[in-house]
Structures are given as C-alpha cells and as structure tokens.
C-alpha cells in the first residue's frame, strides 16, 4: 500500500492535532517505526519519517516509557543502517536526542539514554572517516552536536568526560574541531558551575576535574556529575547584569590548568564560524566570571578583532563580556568607543533593519562600567550618550516605520534628560522631534497608506508619552489633530484609540480630555449642509467617546444632535437607519449618566422625544421613549443607580442585570446579549465509574437456565436481534461535570449549561447537545451521560464546549478539555436476550468463534481475522488481570482458571473474542474478531493492560 508519506508528514508538521484526531499517537508512531524498519522504503523517505519524531517527540511518546521504547527501536535501526546513508543516520541521531531529552529519559538517566550516550561518544571518537568520504564526517559532527544538546539540557551529564573531549578537540585537524570546541566549552562551563555549587570546592577540585580525575573532583556519594537542581537556574545564563550575582569558585590566583585550557580555546577561536565563536566566547566569559582566580584579561588579545567586527553576534558577545567584566577588562576609552560604535551601527547603510534595531536596543541597555541606576530591564540611556552623539539617530520621514519609532523613542529619552537638566523646553532637539511629527502628520493629511497612518499615531503616542507636559507642543498637536480629523473622519478609531491610550498610560495628564474637547468643538462647529452620512457616523462615534468624559460640558453635543435630527435632513430621521439611530441613542445614554445631567435635562429630553416620535425605526423609537421616560420620571439618584447597575461589572442579582441592560443600550445590552468568550476552562467532564460491573453481577443469578440449543441456534437467535438497526447500536458513557480547581468566584454558581460535543473524526454519529440545569461548586456534581453511536468502534477524541450563564447574568462560551474515549470504553457485554444464562452465552461464543475460524461459513468473512498475543504473566497475575479488566465480558466460569473466554461486543456490530490460556512459556491471548481493522487497537489495549500489570508486580 503506497502511502504518500511526504504529504502526511507535512500535514502532521503543520497541524499535529488534525492528524491525531484521526488516529492515535501510538498508532502513528508504530506506523512510522515500522516504515523505518522496512527495507523497501527509500532512505530519503525515511529521513522524512523522522521529522515528526524530531519535532513532536512528546506528542508521539507521551510517557518516559514510551520514549525509552522508541529510543531503543531507533537505536536498533541505527545499528542496522549501512554506514553510507549518512544523512539518514544523522537524522536518526537528532530524533533520538529529541525523544530522550523530551521524555526526561536523559535527566532520569534511563537505560536507553545511557546506551545512547555511549553510542554518541563512540561515534564522536571514531575517526575512521579520516580516510573515507568527507560526507561521513557529518555523522561525527552531528554526534558532537547531539552530545552538546544533551549536556545543555542536563548540565553536568558529560563532566566525567571533560578530559576526553579536550583531547579530541586538540587532536582534530579538520573542520570538525569546531564541533569539539563547542562541546568542550559547554561541558567545561557546566562542570565549573557545578563546582561553585559545592561547598568547599576549590583549586584542587578544579585541577582534578580538568585532569579527568573525577573521583577527586566530585565528593563521595555524588558518583555522577549530573546537576540535580530542580529549579531552572542551572540552565540559565550567568551574565545577567549588575543586579545579579554570579556564583563563584574560590581557587586562589593559581589556576594554571584552567588558564591553559582557556588560552588554547581562545587562540583557536579565530578558526570557528562567527556564530560558534560568539557562543564559545560567551561560555568562556561565564567560566571566567565564575572563577575570580583567572583575570578577565585572558580575553584581551581577542578584543580588537572583536570590536572591529561586522558580525552582529561577535559584537554582541563582546558586549556581554563587557557586562560581565566591566572595568576590569574595558577601560573608559573602550567604553566610549563601543558606544560610538553602536551609534554608527544603528544607522549603518550596509546593515539590515533588524540588526540596526537590535543595536539601538543595545544602546538603551548599554552595559556601563559604572551604572548609576540599577534599573533592571528598563530602557535607560548610558551617561556617555550625549545629544550630539545621539543626533546621528534623529528620525526622518525616510526611515521605515520600525526604525523611525525606535529612533523617536531613543531621541525622546535623550531630550527628556536634556530638558530636565534645565536647558529649557525650547531645546532644538525637542523642536526637531515635534517638527518631525508634523512632517508625518502632513503625509497623513495628504492621504497616506494605512501603514503610514498607524505609524503616525504610534509616533504621536510616543511623543506624548515623553512630552505631554510640554504644553505648547501638546496643545499644538491637539489643534493639528482636529484639523486632520475634519479632513479625514475615517481616522476616528485611531483618534479614539490615541485618547484611550494616553488617558490609560498617562493618568496624570489631561491631554486626552483636551483632545476630546477640541474635537468636540471642531465637530459641533461643522456645517451640517456638507455633512455626508459617513462623516456623520464617524462624528457620532467620537461624540459617544466624548460623552463619557464628565469634565467635558456637553451642551454643544446636544445642540449638534438636535440639529442633526431636526434640521439637517428630515430624510435622515425618516430613513430610519438603525445603526445611525443606535449611535444617536448611544450618545444619549451616556449623557444620562453625565454628572452635569441637570443642566442638560431639557435639550436631552427634547432630542429623545423627537426621536421617539419621528425616527423611522420602531426599535429606536421604543428605546428613545424608554430613555425619555427614565429621564423625566426618575430622580437623579435613581437614574444614576439604575444606569450604574448596568455599567458595573456583575450586579448582585440576575434580575437587576437584565433590567439595567435595557437601559444601557450599548454596553449593558450588548454584554448581556453577547456571549463572552472564556479564556480558560472552568469545568470539565470527568469519567464516572462504569456501571457495567454491577450489571454483570446482577445477571449472575440466572446462570443455570439454558434456553437455546447449541452454538448455531444461539448465533441465529442472537443475530435475529440485529434486524432492528437501532438494536444495541450505542454506548453510554457516564461523566460528571466538575469545576476545575482554579477558583474564580464569579463562576462558582453556573446556570443553564448547554454542552455541545463536536466530533474530531467520522467514526461516530453526531451528538445532540446536552443540558445541565446548574453547577454549584459546593454541591454534588451533576451526572452527564454521553450516548455515542459508533459507525466504527474506534477510540476517539471529542471536543466539548459549553454555553452557560454566570451568576451575574452574563452568558459565556467556554471550551472544555478534550474528552478522550479510549478503546475499552467502547466495549459492551454481548447484548443477549435477558433470559439467557451463562451456557447460552458460551454457546454464542463458540458459535462466533467457529464461524470466524472455519473458512466455510456462508457469511462474507472478508473482515474476519484471528491473531495471537503473548505475554509473560504468572498465573495469579493473569487471574487478577482478568478480574480487573475482563470481568463484565467474561463468559466462561470465573472459577475456571484453565481457559478464560472473553467476548467484547463493540457497537454497532463488531465482536472481539478472546481465549486466554497459560501455556508453558507464556500466556496466549487467542484473538478472533469479525472486524480486522480492530486488531491494532486490540493489541495496543492488551499491551497496555498487561504491561501495567507488570509494573504492579
């Protein structure tokens, strides 16, 4: 059967969940492994097959044991693969590394990971490729990288091999020395780190470690070097700026051995690719930072070369070195030079934008020799960055938007300091920045692209963020924005967003209110005759936002509204545009809540009355009438409290919420009418104890009766039942709906829960929704029965979502954790007539068994299959297993320990028959089924239950 693996693998890589919804991870993994062992498959396909294992090892091997087994499989594939398939063998090593690391086999030092480590060390030392093909060397390089990754994930793993690795590196003359060097430095760094964590470790330990004498290096009792920290500190970088302390190893000044290792590594660093060089320098920086006995000057010989480099990673490594060693390696002149260099690089014509942005970021987090503030993580300017120096980075309209914003941000910081130092707000720099903002505004004014519009508003926000206190610029900007808005009313959402964000991020500033006030004036002064519908709807959006500001007097708003509905065009009212009406009402509703409502009363009432009488849409009329009534009949206090109820998050009683929702046209009503999406699940379905056991026990009593004669008759009678297509065609799964432990008190009491179950494959019929009246955290959990109607009785995953109402009357949509229906959940005892006893059932068993096994049956037997599953089980273990898993399906006498006969019925009409017998060497599970497609599921089921039995023993 030709399977298009290339396509399957690419579908899996882009969306594993989609693939796994149609099959199990286990089955897919088994399939992949089988194909990998298949001699007929080409090696290029086999390389493809490894990519799911490389990329998603935890999906395919969910447990450590699964990882362990997969790794053993892959290792045997590796040993059997002819050496010439280098690419495939390399990818095999990568897959093995991924599997063993991700399933925690490495950190738990499992058997397979030990074997794998030995294999890697062996490959890494195997220099037989020297004479052979150059391509073969790739395998050695890959092995080194795998070792490096293992060491990176489990620091200390290779510290016993430090001397070996040092030797390999020194001896290697080909390009591969780079791989050894990377590995060696990482192991060295981790080993030194390990020593710093040991009390009393000192110079001798370090010496012993470098000499490969691990028994001395590690104190008794700690035979393996693996760092056992549970926290992640040991994986973390050690160079984190002035606020962090680096663990140190006190060695005294004499660290000859370490020094000689360091200088040898540094000497050859030039031979590495820039990326590897940067990593090497970084790791060595960490080592030297941990061992105060070695002066940072070991790096000095490399510095000039590094400072002149065009490679971003090398210069970055140098900056990190500066962060670690400050003035013990870098003089004040060096510091000034580096900073100037960063400024140059931030605008260098030969660099790509991301690199320039990165260098600007480095300026804002410059590792100063003597930092004044210890602000960790925040952007701050280095003292040496003078306005003169920074002026090279002034933003211009020719910059791309990210560069422009980055420059604006940096220069704003520069002039902010300058302004604060008393040179006055009139500094030329600030004037330039404002002029620049104006140029952008001019571009927007002439109708620019969306991207430029967005950039302008971001720039405006940045400018305000730093300079909102500089009044004449801030005011001038308001003026300009008003003009801009009148020309381009479609910018309303951007202006509202700008007002929102400045109000939110700059709570002390009143700029946003100022802007809104000015816009209000601008809007209300426009001539209505020139107003088109589009502009009007944008204006109304703006007015609604302004109406939320208690500080803004709203008389002009009302005048404007009144003239819109009365004068501008009667047609507007008559048209009865619902959206427009709703926008009008939205403003009115906000005004009802306005602190100066008293002075607005009459004009507002007039407007509402006019709408109620004349607007061309009934819904709008009704709402206007309601508002009018509220306004004219309720006292101010009541009105406020009614409206406030609508606005407040979660009123006390559900009824209040609904009432006030009607008032709160735009927010309240929409929030009650909308179904809110939930970020995380609140409850889930937990599988309840099956009722099968009790059922079988109940039928025990009728064991003695015999109602049919012989297997054939039993089979016929049994089959006859299935003429009704609905007969025994479904399974019922019992679940309990329970809260998840995360406590959000809003969701302690839930009502009207409607569960919607979605299938992820077509093995089952669609399910109808299920209603649960309520779910309270403190009360017993409600039961939920899922009636699944299989088309094919395979394991599946169900996706569940629920809509419910919370206590405050809001509706929510939440996604429940997926429900996994396992294969054994589909099992049912055979649906025999209730009058049948055990012997009848046994007859049925024999009948089915014989039919499948005799090839002469009249029925079409193409789907039938037999199989044998063997495993090692002691007699009592077998009995326990039968008792635990098969009791409801056991047809033979439980007392009969010779042979167990088990019959699973899988709706709609599949059967699996087991005859279980202890033979001398193993327990044999003879399997017979009338649906061969079930065989992989059966064997994986049997494998699971028999191996878990092993574990129990």
Partner 1 sequence: MSVRALWIISHAKGENVSIRFSRRFAAVEHRAKCLAGPSYVAVPEDNTVLQLLLTELGLSDSDKPYVAVRDDCYNRQRSPALELRMDSPEKGILWPVLAISQGPLILACLSLVDAPPEPRPPLSSLLSVSQGLTLLAGLQTFLLSAGVKTDNEGLASRLAMLPSVLLQICPLGTPLDVPLLGAPATPAALAPAGNQKQPAWKMGLHRGRAVVNVALVETVRSMQYGNRSRQDLWDVFGTVTCKCEVEGVLPNVTVTLTLPPNGSPLQDILVHPCVTSLDSSILTSCSVDNYDGSAFSGPYKFPFSPPLEPFRLCSYTSQVPVPPILGLYQLKEEENHLRVSVTLKLHESVKNSFDYCEAHLPFFNRDQMGLVDMKVSSGQLDVSKEKNLLVWGLGQKFPKSREVTMEGKITFSGPTPGPTDPLCIGLTAYVKLYFKVPDMTLSGCCVDQHSVQVYSSAKPRITTSRELVSKEYFLWNSTGTAPVSSGQMML
Q: Which of residues 620-679 bind partner 1 (CB under 8 A)?
A: 677-679
- The answer to whether 67 and 101 are in contact (CB under 8 A) is no
- The answer to whether 833 and 859 are in contact (CB under 8 A) is no
Q: What does residue 321 show for φ and ψ, rounded to 5 degrees?
A: -65, -40
Choose which of 4, 84, 130, 705 interacts with partner 1 (CB under 8 A): 130
Gap between the Cα atoms of 543 and 588, Å rounded: 10
| Bridge partners of residue 739, in order along the sequence | 683
Omega before residue 908 within 30° of 0, cis: yes
- For CA atoms 663, 669, 672, 673, give the dihedral sign: positive
Measured from the CB of residue 238, what is the shortest distance to partner 1 in angstroms? 10
Tokens of residue 121, six digits: 């060390």
Contact letters (x/-) for partner 1, 312-351, by CB under 8 A?
xxxxxx-xx--x-------------x--xx-xx---xxx-
Nearer to partner 1, 72 or 307 (CB): 307
Nearer to partner 1, 477 or 498 (CB): 498
For the chain, the first-to-last Cα distance in angstroms comes to 41
Measured from the CB of residue 665, what is the shortest distance to partner 1 in angstroms? 21
Nearer to partner 1, 92 or 916 (CB): 92
Measured from the CB of residue 176, what is the shortest distance to partner 1 in angstroms? 8
The stretch among 109-117, 270-278, 693-701, 770-778 that binds partner 1 (CB under 8 A) is 270-278
Tokens of residue 911, six digits: 């059967």
Q: Does 241 bind partner 1 (CB under 8 A)?
A: yes
Choose which of 46, 49, 67, 98 interacts with partner 1 (CB under 8 A): 98
- The answer to whether 621 and 612 are in contact (CB under 8 A) is yes
Q: Output the CA torsion 492→493→499→501 (10° steps).
A: -160
Element (H, E) at 910: strand 910-918
Measured from the CB of residue 280, what is the shortest distance to partner 1 in angstroms? 10
Measured from the CB of residue 281, what is the shortest distance to partner 1 in angstroms? 9
Of residues 173-212, those binding partner 1 (CB under 8 A): 173-175, 177-178, 182
Choose which of 152, 208, 767, 935 interacts with partner 1 (CB under 8 A): 152
The stretch among 70-78, 405-413, 517-525, 652-660 that binds partner 1 (CB under 8 A) is 405-413
Nearer to partner 1, 494 or 949 (CB): 494
Q: Look-up: residue for tokens 């191996």?
A: 947
Gap between the Cα atoms of 383 and 335, Å rounded: 11
What 3-state DSSP class applies to 149? helix
Spatial neighbors of 343 by CB under 8 A, at least 6 apart, are: 363, 385, 389, 390, 392, 393
Gap between the Cα atoms of 395 and 436, Å rounded: 7
Nearer to partner 1, 418 or 930 (CB): 418
Measured from the CB of residue 21, what is the shortest distance to partner 1 in angstroms? 12
Measured from the CB of residue 473, what is the shortest distance to partner 1 in angstroms? 16
What 3-state DSSP class applies to 199? coil
Q: Does 58 bind partner 1 (CB under 8 A)?
A: yes
Q: Does 148 bind partner 1 (CB under 8 A)?
A: yes
Choose which of 31, 35, 355, 863 interacts with partner 1 (CB under 8 A): 355
Nearer to partner 1, 155 or 790 (CB): 155
Measured from the CB of residue 884, what is the shortest distance to partner 1 in angstroms? 35
The string of DSSP codes covering 672-711 is HHSEEEPSS--EEEEEPPPSHHHHHHHHGGGGG---S-HH
Q: Does 767 bind partner 1 (CB under 8 A)?
A: no
Q: Does 803 bind partner 1 (CB under 8 A)?
A: no
What 3-state DSSP class applies to 780? coil
Q: Does 839 bind partner 1 (CB under 8 A)?
A: no
Measured from the CB of residue 701, what is the shortest distance to partner 1 in angstroms? 50
Nearer to partner 1, 236 or 571 (CB): 236
Measured from the CB of residue 130, what is the shortest distance to partner 1 in angstroms? 7
Choose which of 216, 235, 602, 644 interacts with partner 1 (CB under 8 A): 235
Q: Does 398 bind partner 1 (CB under 8 A)?
A: yes
Q: Look-up: residue for tokens 């150059």?
A: 134
**CA–CA distance from 324 to each of 27, 202, 292, 445 (Å)?**
51, 22, 12, 49
Choose which of 36, 272, 600, 714 interacts with partner 1 (CB under 8 A): 272
Measured from the CB of residue 107, what is the shortest distance to partner 1 in angstroms? 9
Measured from the CB of residue 14, what is the shortest distance to partner 1 in angstroms? 4
Tokens of residue 772, six digits: 């649960």
Q: Look-up: residue for tokens 């003359």?
A: 173
Nearer to partner 1, 81 or 728 (CB): 81
Nearer to partner 1, 163 or 445 (CB): 445
Gap between the Cα atoms of 128 and 662, Å rounded: 83
- The answer to whether 276 and 177 are in contact (CB under 8 A) is no
Nearer to partner 1, 289 or 591 (CB): 289
Measured from the CB of residue 896, what is the shortest distance to partner 1 in angstroms? 50
Among candidate residues 760, 861, 748, the one with its CA nearest the CA of residue 808: 748
The stretch among 74-82, 431-439, 606-614, 874-882 that binds partner 1 (CB under 8 A) is 431-439
Gap between the Cα atoms of 630 and 624, Å rounded: 10
- How big is the CA angle at 297 (ends 292 and 303), to the nearest 5 degrees? 135
Contact letters (x/-) for partner 1, 523-562, by CB under 8 A?
----------------------------------------
Among candidate residues 334, 407, 405, the one with its CA nearest the CA of residue 368: 334
Measured from the CB of residue 128, what is the shortest distance to partner 1 in angstroms? 14
Choose which of 64, 198, 268, 863 interacts with partner 1 (CB under 8 A): 268
CA-derived radius of gyration, the chain: 38
Of residues 448-507, those binding partner 1 (CB under 8 A): 448-452, 454, 457-458, 460-461, 490, 493-494, 497-498, 501, 505
Gap between the Cα atoms of 551 and 560, Å rounded: 18
Phi-psi region of 507 (alpha: psi -120 to 50; beta: other; left: phi over 0): alpha
Contact letters (x/-) for partner 1, 159-178, by CB under 8 A?
-------------xxxx-xx
Choose which of 258, 357, 750, 882 interacts with partner 1 (CB under 8 A): 357
Nearer to partner 1, 658 or 799 (CB): 799
Tokens of residue 313, six digits: 């990673």
Gap between the Cα atoms of 728 and 908, Å rounded: 7
Measured from the CB of residue 754, what is the shortest distance to partner 1 in angstroms? 19
Of residues 17-56, those binding partner 1 (CB under 8 A): 17, 47, 51, 54-56
- The answer to whether 411 and 394 are in contact (CB under 8 A) is yes
Q: Does 402 bind partner 1 (CB under 8 A)?
A: yes
Contact letters (x/-) for partner 1, 365-394, by CB under 8 A?
x----------xx-----------x-xx-x
């Amino acid at each position: 059967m030709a399977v298009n693996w290339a396509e399957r693998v690419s579908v899996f890589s882009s969306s594993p969940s989609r693939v796994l919804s149609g099959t199990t991870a286990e089955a897919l993994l088994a399939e992949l492994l089988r194909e990998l062992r298949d001699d007929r498959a080409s090696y290029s396909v086999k390389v493809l097959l490894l990519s799911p294992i490389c990329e998603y090892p935890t999906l395919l091997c969910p447990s450590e044991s699964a990882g362990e087994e997969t790794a053993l499989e892959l290792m045997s594939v590796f040993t059997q693969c002819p050496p010439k398939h280098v690419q495939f063998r390399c990818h095999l090593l990568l897959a093995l590394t991924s599997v063993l690391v991700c399933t925690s086999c490495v950190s738990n030092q499992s058997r397979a990971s030990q074997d794998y480590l030995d294999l890697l060390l062996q490959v890494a030392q195997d220099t037989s490729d020297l004479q052979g093909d150059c391509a073969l060397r790739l395998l050695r390089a890959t092995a080194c990288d795998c070792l490096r990754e293992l060491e990176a994930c489990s620091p200390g793993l290779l510290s016993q091999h430090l001397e070996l690795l040092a030797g390999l590196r020194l001896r290697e003359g080909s390009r591969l020395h780079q791989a050894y060097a990377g590995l060696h430095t990482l192991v060295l760094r981790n080993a030194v780190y390990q020593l710093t964590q040991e009390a009393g470790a000192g110079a001798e330990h370090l010496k012993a470690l470098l000499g490969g004498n691990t028994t001395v290096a590690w104190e008794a009792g700690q035979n393996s070097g693996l760092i056992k920290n549970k926290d992640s500190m040991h994986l973390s970088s050690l160079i984190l700026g002035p606020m962090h302390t680096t663990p140190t190893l006190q060695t005294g000044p004499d660290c000859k051995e370490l020094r000689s290792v360091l200088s040898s590594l540094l000497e050859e660093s030039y031979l590495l690719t820039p990326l590897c060089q940067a990593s090497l320098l970084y790791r060595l920086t960490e080592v030297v930072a941990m061992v105060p006995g070695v002066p940072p000057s070991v790096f000095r010989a490399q510095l000039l070369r590094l400072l002149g480099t065009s490679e971003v990673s090398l210069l970055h490594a140098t900056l990190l070195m500066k962060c670690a060693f400050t003035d013990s390696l870098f003089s004040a002149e060096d510091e000034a030079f580096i900073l100037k260099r960063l400024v140059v690089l931030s605008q260098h014509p030969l660099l790509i934008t991301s690199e320039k942005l990165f260098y600007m970021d480095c300026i804002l987090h410059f590792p100063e020799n003597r930092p004044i503030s210890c602000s960790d993580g925040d952007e701050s300017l280095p003292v040496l960055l003078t306005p003169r120096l920074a002026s090279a980075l002034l933003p211009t309209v020719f910059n791309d938007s990210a560069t422009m914003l980055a420059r604006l941000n940096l220069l704003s910081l520069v002039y902010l300091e300058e302004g604060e130092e008393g040179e006055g707000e009139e500094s030329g720099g600030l004037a330039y920045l404002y002029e620049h903002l104006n140029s952008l505004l001019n571009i927007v004014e002439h109708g620019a692209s969306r991207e430029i519009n967005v950039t302008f508003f971001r720039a405006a926000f940045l400018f305000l963020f730093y300079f909102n206190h500089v009044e004449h610029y801030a005011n001038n900007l308001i003026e300009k924005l008003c003009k801009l808005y009148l020309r381009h009313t479609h910018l309303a959402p951007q202006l509202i967003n700008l007002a929102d964000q400045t109000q939110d991020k700059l709570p002390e500033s009143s700029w946003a209110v100022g802007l809104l006030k000015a816009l209000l004036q601008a809007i209300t002064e426009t001539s209505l005759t020139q107003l088109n519908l589009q502009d009007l709807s944008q204006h109304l959006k703006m007015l609604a936002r302004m109406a939320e500001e208690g500080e803004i007097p709203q008389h002009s708003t009302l005048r404007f509204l009144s003239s819109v509905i009365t004068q501008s065009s009667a047609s507007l009212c008559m048209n009865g545009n619902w959206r427009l009406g709703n926008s009008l009402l939205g403003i009115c509703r906000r005004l009802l809540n306005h602190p100066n409502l008293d002075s607005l009363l009459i004009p507002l009432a007039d407007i509402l009355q006019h709408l109620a009488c004349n607007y061309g849409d009934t819904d709008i009329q009704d709402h206007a009438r309601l508002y009018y009534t509220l306004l004219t009949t309720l006292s101010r206090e009541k009105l406020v409290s009614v409206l406030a109820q609508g606005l407040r998050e979660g009123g006390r009683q559900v009824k209040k919420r609904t009432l006030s929702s009607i008032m709160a046209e735009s927010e309240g009503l929409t929030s009650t009418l909308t179904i809110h999406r939930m970020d995380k699940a609140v409850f889930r379905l937990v599988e309840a104890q099956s009722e099968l056991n009790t059922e079988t026990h109940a039928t025990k009593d009728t064991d003695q009766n015999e109602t049919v004669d012989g297997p054939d008759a039993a089979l016929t009678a049994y089959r006859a039942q299935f003429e009704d297509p609905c007969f025994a065609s479904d399974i019922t799964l019992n679940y309990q709906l329970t809260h998840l432990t995360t406590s959000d008190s809003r969701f302690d009491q839930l009502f009207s829960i409607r569960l919607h179950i979605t299938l992820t494959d077509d093995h089952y019929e669609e399910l109808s929704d299920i209603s649960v009246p309520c779910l309270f955290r403190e009360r017993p959990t409600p039961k939920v029965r899922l009636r699944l109607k299989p088309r094919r009785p395979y394991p599946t995953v169900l996706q569940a979502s629920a809509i419910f109402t919370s206590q405050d009357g809001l509706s929510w949509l939440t996604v429940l954790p997926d429900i996994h229906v396992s294969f054994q959940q589909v099992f049912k005892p055979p649906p025999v007539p209730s009058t049948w006893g055990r012997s009848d059932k046994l007859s049925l068993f024999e009948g089915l068994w014989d039919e499948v096994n005799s090839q002469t049956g009249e029925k079409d037997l193409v789907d039938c299959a037999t199989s044998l599953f063997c495993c090692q089980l002691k007699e009592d273990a077998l009995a326990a297993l039968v008792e635990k898993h098969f009791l409801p399906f056991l047809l033979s006498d439980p007392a009969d320990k010779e042979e167990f006969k088990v019959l699973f019925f899988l709706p709609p009409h599949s059967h699996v028959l087991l005859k279980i017998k202890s033979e001398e060497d193993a327990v044999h599970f003879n399997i017979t089924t009338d649906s061969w497609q079930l065989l992989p599921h059966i064997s994986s089921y049997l494998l699971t239950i028999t191996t878990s039995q092993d574990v129990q023993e």
